[in-house]
Amino acid sequence: MRIISTLILTAALAATAASAAPEPTKTQVRGEARLTKLLEGRTAGTPVNCINMRDIQQTQIIDGTAIVYRVSGNKLYVNRPVHPGTLDDDDILITDTRTPQLCNVDTIRLMSRISRFPTGVVFLNKFVPYTKAPAPKG
């Protein structure tokens, strides 16, 4: 009886492990390609926990992938939320912080641009800075 229980438990664990890494959706594949193109010619820096809200000039949602924050000095910060599948570039980001910084412990609510109904929540991760190398002189 013990052998049968062990076999059943092993099979259940194997099925769980196989389902732990789902295939990326078409939206995520397109989002990764779009993000790669956006970051072309840029170099990733050391991830940071927070960015200053006052420095953010533009925010862009990459469907199912990431949120890109453009800050002064032509620098981009990329945040890949914990569950990015809910990100849709037709949504509005609702950021409610208690400090002048946006940090990796913050959550962002999403709202449909058309219906104005909530569409989800994303939990932020660290922000990865991307900078362009200065153009060579001469």
The string of pLDDT tens digits covering residues 92-128 is: 999 988 899 999 999 999 999 999 999 999 999 999 9
- For the chain, give the percent of residues with pLDDT over 70: 83
Residues 30-72 pLDDT 10s? 999 999 999 999 999 999 999 999 999 999 999 999 999 999 8
Taking the CA atoms of residue 126, residue 79, residue 113 and residue 83 in that order, the dihedral angle to the nearest 10 degrees is -80
* Mean per-residue pLDDT of the chain: 85
Q: How far is CA 21 from CA 16, 36, 59, 85, 114, in A?
A: 9, 22, 29, 14, 33
The answer, yes or no, to whether residue 14 has pLDDT greater than 60, is no
Closest among 84, 80, 124 to 105, alpha carbons compared: 124
Longest dimension (CA), the chain: 79
